[in-house]
Amino acid sequence: MSTVDDLSERLEFLQGTLEVLILRSLQLGPNHAYGIAQFLKQQSDQEFLVDNGSLYPAMQRILQRGWITAQWKTSPNARRAKYYRLTPLGRKQLVVATSKWRRFVEAMTRVLAPEG
Amino acid sequence: MREWWSKLRAMLAGRRDLADELREEVEMHLEHEVQEGVALGMSPKEAHEAARRRFGNPTLIRENAMDSWTFRALESMVRDFGYAGRTIRKNRAFSVTAVLTLALGIGGTTAVFSLVQGILLKPLPYPDPDRLVVVFESIPAVRDRYPVIPVNAAHFQTWREEAESLKDLALFKWDTYTLTGLGEPQQITVAQVSAGFLPTLGVAPRQGHGFTDQEDKPDTVHRVAVVTDSFWRRHFGEDAAIGAQTILLNGASHEIVGVLPAGFRFPEFQRGSTFVADLPEVHILKPIEIPKSNLEPNGNFNYGALGRLRPGVSVAQAEAELNVLQAGIAQEFGQGMQLEGYVFPLRERIVSEAQRGLLLALGAVGLILLIACVNIANLALARGSARNRELAVRAALGAGSSALLRQSLVESLCLAVLGGVLGTAGAYVGVTLFVRGALADLPRLAEVGLDGAVLAFAALCIVGSSVLFGLAPAFRASRVDPQEILRRQGRGSTEGHGAGRLRNALAGTEVALTVLILIGAGLLLHSLFRVMNRERGFDESVATAEISLPPAYEPARRLEAQRAILGALDQLPGVGSAAFVTLLPVTRENNVNPILPKEAGPVPIMERPMANIRWASPGYFETLGIALKAGRVFQEGDGAEKPVVISESVARRLWPGEDPLGREIRQAEDKPPYLQVVGVVADVPVASLEGGSAMVVYRPFWEGPRLSMSLALRTTVDASSLAGAIRQAVWEVDPQIPAPDLKTMRQIVSDSVTERRFDTLLVSVFGCTSLLLACLGVYGVVSYSVVRRTNEMGIRMALGSQIKSAGLCSGRACGPWCLALWLDC
């Protein structure tokens, strides 16, 4: 369902990954959906190209869980946009998820590229 | 949890805001993308197109995002149910047929199951009921007519002292007493029980105490009674103090010493005995009175025996031990006597007669439910051909096969629930009326009702039947090929031949089963017809009533009163003749005694012919219309000493081929006076029409005056119109006599075949129901095949085929009938 042409080259999201990434992108400050997508694209060196069809439902899920809140604001270029911001609960969730991902990545690495 | 809460809140707040916000958000997003493109040097148009391409389908994205705000499974279920509701309403003819058929099937099954549950499955309402047994004796010489007989008190004492396998053993018998002092005098059934009776049952009075061993001693009379809770409440109120209340039984004051717990019911021992009439419920228990004479080894076999097995002992073990004891007793008695004993589980004794019929009925209604399911499946498949286009359109618009399957099953479930609720309501009404009206002579009827287990069963029936009839149409619905069907423009479905054969086979089986049930119904009807047409030997229009004199009456006064009653009734206009007898035909047997011709040699007592001895007034034979075959009827002061009238079967048995008139009959004691035969009358059925006639010896009623006798009245007008006058005539003799309850011999005969008639009715109703269902089923199959082949027939006719052969073509659907015939042969 990706809108990019060279889909095969890009990484696909594992279950639950997108949620953590969204939370991480909001750690720096409130942002809107477009900004979040841009952030993820840049931060991942274009490896993650966020499909809007996944991004929007994921945002709704996080909203429902109370990890972020939304507010309409005027953007620097004088346009109205819906800004999302982390809640304390969201911050806590980010810490938990981050450490879980670290452990997961380390374990994967150990298995895939054993030392020695 | 939090997620649900947010969704719920959003749902309540309305989703419109959410949708608008999303739309705006997505627009902003797109604009950002456009701006980025412009910033990179594209023309606004190019930038716009690129942004659209990159962004994806905004509508789909919005919808996906919105979806996460809904309870998907729940909402699609609600939608399924809503759709099912619409479909059901739209296809009214089909829905009504299906719901009514299911209501019939599920209601019938539930109703019969409630009987099975209350009567067969529920344990008896006593502690550890599986260890309760009933003991009977048996004498090989008379076994062909009386397989088991009641218990002899002397034998009972031996068992109680020596039987190891029985923990407790108690004796009981029924008696009819006149209860006075509480409103109008009334006849009431009282159980005489030995002290061990309540402990054997495992029941203790909720108030007061039971009976003591002291009260068991022979030839003693103790004026105490234990009554049921409902009797106590009805007559004395809840708060009455025990020890201060008395009741008058046969004029003697009895102190109530105990009240049984609420819900206690006296076991229905009398089931399946030819010696005991079906007695009304027992509410009064009193200590058993055993005359010393009954404790002699050749005393009467008069009592019931209730026992409780020791834990771990089987019925067979107990019976084996009993037979050892019986052999010892018989040996001691001598005279070549043989004695055996039988032990039956109490439950079996109570329900065994009902068991087969009930299970049969449950099987039959289960079959009907099955037939109903097959039918609805057939109809639904037939209807499916009309629905194919609709399904195809739904599939083409994106409904997955699982969605179509689910939708179809939900529809079936809705139909089943509607039918089931309707059926269960019907079953509730039916069972309530059935129990209240005691429409069938079944044991434990008061324990029958729609309890939790029955409702659970009904729910199971609903779900089970919805799956049964819903699965086939559901699978078909899930497998529609939209392209194929839409291209064919609804010309009909393409179903494999296999499925068609299956449907034909189902309909054929249905017809076969129906024919089987109908044959069964026919057989039952035929045998009922034959029983009802048996030679009666008496006039059915005769009116009867039980007349019980006050117990204080001495024998001489009894006779005097009975003669006075006959005299008064004879004077009544409209009364042709009146007579008394101890026991009317088609009721039961009692006073069954050994008889011999006087001149016969010694015969062991138990190998002698057994005859019912009945006492009657001289007018009895004429009143009842029993034909006099030879000699005359006894008359008062006719000079004969001990005159008797015998039935033809007695004459045949005692003096085959000889003239019985003037001969003499010897009873148990071999000494004069002997009974002298003065007349021979026709045989009449004794205990039931089916049981036929037994040997009867009629003796003049003045030789054995009874307190309670049956009155027979031949009337020239309708007997019920004379009820008041008859009561008046009786009360003129003594107002203490309970008001007689008139019943014609026809009613007595009819009561005696209640069970048979009920079975017949039940099976006939089942037969008709399944016939109806089978017709529906065959209709379904035929109409389906016709719908499927209309096109083909049109082509055939266009090509010159005749109407007749087109009809023949659809006649191939008669396959089921052939199959049915084949199955039945």
* DSSP per-residue string spanning B387-423: HHHHHHHHHHTT--HHHHHHHHHHHHHHHHHHHHHHH
With beta carbons less than 8 A apart as the criterion, state whether B379 and B98 touch: yes
At B538, give phi and psi (nearest 5°): -145, 170
Sorted by sequence, the CB contacts under 8 Å of residue B620 that are 6+ apart come out as: B579, B580, B581, B626, B698, B712
Please tell me whether residues B599 and B484 are part of one structural domain.
no
The mean pLDDT value for B798-808 works out to 66
Please tell me whether residues B315 and B386 are part of one structural domain.
no
Q: How far is B7 from chain A (nearest CA, A)?
A: 7
Whether B194 shows a pLDDT value over 50: the answer reads yes
Task: State the pLDDT at residue B510.
Answer: 76
Sorted by sequence, the CB contacts under 8 Å of residue B160 that are 6+ apart come out as: B166, B169
pLDDT digits (tens, 9 = 90+) for B18-27: 778 888 888 8
Task: State the pLDDT at residue B338.
Answer: 82
Q: Identify the weakest region by mean pLDDT among B301-315, B432-446, B656-670.
A: B432-446
pLDDT digits (tens, 9 = 90+) for B397-423: 767 777 778 888 888 899 999 999 999
Whether B780 shows a pLDDT value over 80: the answer reads no
The mean pLDDT value for B490-495 works out to 45
More confident site: B783 or B686: B686
Task: State the pLDDT at residue B353.
Answer: 73
Please tell me whether residues B567 and B584 are part of one structural domain.
yes
Q: Which amino acid is at A7?
A: L
With bands split at pLDDT 50, 70 and 90, how would you rate the model's confidence at B514?
confident
Residues of A with Cβ-Cβ distance to B60 under 8 angstroms: 53
Facing B68 at nearest CB: one of A32, A57, A80: A57
Helix (H, G, I), strand (E, B) or coil at B647: strand
Closest CA to B231 of B206, B268, B211, B194: B206
CB atoms within 10 A of CB B482: 17
Domain that includes residue A20, residue range: 10-112
What separation in angstroms does the CA of B637 have from each of B125, B397, B632, B640, B704? 56, 105, 14, 8, 16
Residue at A33 is within a domain: yes
With bands split at pLDDT 50, 70 and 90, how would you rate the model's confidence at B489?
low
Count of pairs with CB atoms under 8 A, one residue in A, one in B = 68
Q: Identify the weakest region by mean pLDDT among B64-68, B280-284, B304-308.
A: B64-68
pLDDT digits (tens, 9 = 90+) for B664-691: 998 877 777 789 999 999 999 888 787 7
Helix (H, G, I), strand (E, B) or coil at B89: helix
Task: State the pLDDT at residue B492.
Answer: 44
Residue at B582 is within a domain: yes
pLDDT tens for chain A, 116 residues long, are: 444 444 445 566 666 788 888 999 998 888 888 888 888 888 888 777 778 888 888 888 888 888 999 888 887 777 788 889 999 999 999 999 999 889 988 998 888 886 65
Domain of residue A97, CATH code = 1.10.10.10
Characterize B504-536 residue by residue with b for buried, 16 or more Cβ atoms within 10 angstroms of its Cβ, and e for exposed. bebbbbbbbbbbbbbebbeebbeebeebeeeeb
DSSP state of B432: H
The mean pLDDT value for B473-501 works out to 62
- The answer to whether residue B53 neighbours chain A at the CB level (below 8 Å) is yes
Whether B278 shows a pLDDT value over 80: the answer reads no
Please tell me whether residues B60 and B78 are part of one structural domain.
no
Q: How far is B56 from chain A (nearest CA, A)?
A: 6
The mean pLDDT value for B135-160 works out to 84
The mean pLDDT value for B621-629 works out to 93
What separation in angstroms does the CA of B82 have from each of B75, B405, B422, B478? 10, 16, 20, 19
With beta carbons less than 8 A apart as the criterion, state whether A97 and B108 touch: no
With beta carbons less than 8 A apart as the criterion, state whether B584 and B745 touch: yes
Residue at A5 is within a domain: no
| Secondary structure (DSSP) of B345-394 | EHHHHHHHHHHHHHHHHHHHHHHHHHHHHHHHHHHHHHHHHHHHHHHHHH
Residue at B344 is within a domain: no
Closest CA to B136 of B295, B288, B346: B346
The mean pLDDT value for B368-372 works out to 85
More confident site: B371 or B183: B371
Residue at B135 is within a domain: no
| Lookup: tokens for B745 | 């011999």
Sorted by sequence, the CB contacts under 8 Å of residue B683 that are 6+ apart come out as: B537, B647, B648, B649, B693, B696
Number of domain units in chain A:
1
The mean pLDDT value for B105-121 works out to 89
How far is residue B822's CA from residue B504's CA, in Å, rounded to a whole number?
14
Do residue B3 and residue A65 have CB atoms under 8 angstroms apart? Answer: yes
Please tell me whether residues B466 and B528 are part of one structural domain.
no
Q: Which amino acid is at B336?
A: G
| Chain B interface mutation, best of A52, A54, A63, highest count of B Cβ atoms under 10 Å | A52
| Lookup: tokens for B738 | 């309970």
Facing B21 at nearest CB: one of A1, A32, A82: A82
Pairing of strands B186-193, B284-287: parallel
- The answer to whether residue B56 neighbours chain A at the CB level (below 8 Å) is yes
| Secondary structure (DSSP) of A59-76 | HHHHHHHTSEEEEEEE-T
How far is residue B352's CA from residue B779's CA, in Å, rounded to a whole number?
41
Please tell me whether residues B565 and B444 are part of one structural domain.
no
Residue at A76 is within a domain: yes
Task: State the pLDDT at residue B644.
Answer: 93
- The answer to whether residue B39 neighbours chain A at the CB level (below 8 Å) is no
Facing B60 at nearest CB: one of A53, A63, A79: A53
Residue at A1 is within a domain: no
The mean pLDDT value for B345-355 works out to 82
Task: State the pLDDT at residue B264.
Answer: 84
Give yes or no for a cis peptide into B673 (omega within 30° of 0): yes
With beta carbons less than 8 A apart as the criterion, state whether B424 and B478 touch: no
pLDDT digits (tens, 9 = 90+) for B25-76: 888 888 888 888 888 888 888 888 888 888 888 887 887 777 777 776 777 7
Please tell me whether residues B87 and B120 are part of one structural domain.
yes
Please tell me whether residues B291 and B174 are part of one structural domain.
yes
With bands split at pLDDT 50, 70 and 90, how would you rate the model's confidence at B275?
low
| Secondary structure (DSSP) of B731-787 | HHH-TTSPPP--EEHHHHHHHHTHHHHHHHHHHHHHHHHHHHHHHHHHHHHHHHHHH
Task: State the pLDDT at residue B2.
Answer: 67
Residue at B134 is within a domain: no
The mean pLDDT value for B441-455 works out to 82
Domain closes at, from B338, B366, B392: B338
How far is residue A7's CA from residue B650's CA, in Å, rounded to a whole number?
109
Interface subset of B 15-34, CB within 8 angstroms of A? 21-22, 24-26, 28-29, 31-33
DSSP state of A3: S
Residue at B262 is within a domain: yes
Please tell me whether residues B325 and B394 are part of one structural domain.
no
Please tell me whether residues B64 and B112 are part of one structural domain.
no
What's the number of CA atoms in the CB half-sphere (13 Å) around residue B433? 7
Whether B719 shows a pLDDT value over 90: the answer reads no
Whether B823 shows a pLDDT value over 60: the answer reads no
With bands split at pLDDT 50, 70 and 90, how would you rate the model's confidence at B776?
confident
Percent of chain B residues past pLDDT 90, beyond the cut = 18
With beta carbons less than 8 A apart as the criterion, state whether B778 and B507 touch: yes
DSSP state of B148: S
Residue at A86 is within a domain: yes
Closest CA to B289 of B214, B220, B223: B220
Please tell me whether residues B39 and B158 are part of one structural domain.
no
The mean pLDDT value for B651-663 works out to 91
Residue at B297 is within a domain: yes
The mean pLDDT value for B498-502 works out to 60
Residue at A64 is within a domain: yes
Q: Which amino acid is at B759?
A: D
Whether B728 shows a pLDDT value over 50: the answer reads yes
**Which residue in the block uniquely carries the two structure tokens 């629905």?**
B387
Residue at B512 is within a domain: yes
Cα-based torsion angle of the residue sequence B776, B781, B782, B786 in order, rounded to the nearest 10 degrees: 130
Please tell me whether residues B578 and B463 are part of one structural domain.
no
Domain that includes residue B819, residue range: 497-533+753-825
| Lookup: tokens for B368 | 């009907």
Percent of chain B residues past pLDDT 70, beyond the cut = 88
The mean pLDDT value for B799-820 works out to 59
Pairing of strands B224-227, B252-259: parallel
Average pLDDT, chain B: 82
CB atoms within 10 A of CB B329: 18
Residue at A45 is within a domain: yes
Task: State the pLDDT at residue B297.
Answer: 65
Closest CA to B471 of B508, B502, B513: B502
Chain B residue at shortest CA distance from A77: B32
Residue at A2 is within a domain: no
Task: State the pLDDT at residue B805.
Answer: 60
Cα-based torsion angle of the residue sequence B495, B500, B501, B506 in order, rounded to the nearest 10 degrees: 140
Q: How far is B40 from chain A (nearest CA, A)?
A: 15
Whether B303 shows a pLDDT value over 90: the answer reads no
The mean pLDDT value for B646-661 works out to 92
Number of domain units in chain B:
5
- The answer to whether residue B483 neighbours chain A at the CB level (below 8 Å) is no
Task: State the pLDDT at residue B251.
Answer: 80
Q: How far is B54 from chain A (nearest CA, A)?
A: 6
| Helical residues (DSSP H) of chain A, grouped into ranges | 17-26, 33-43, 52-65, 88-112
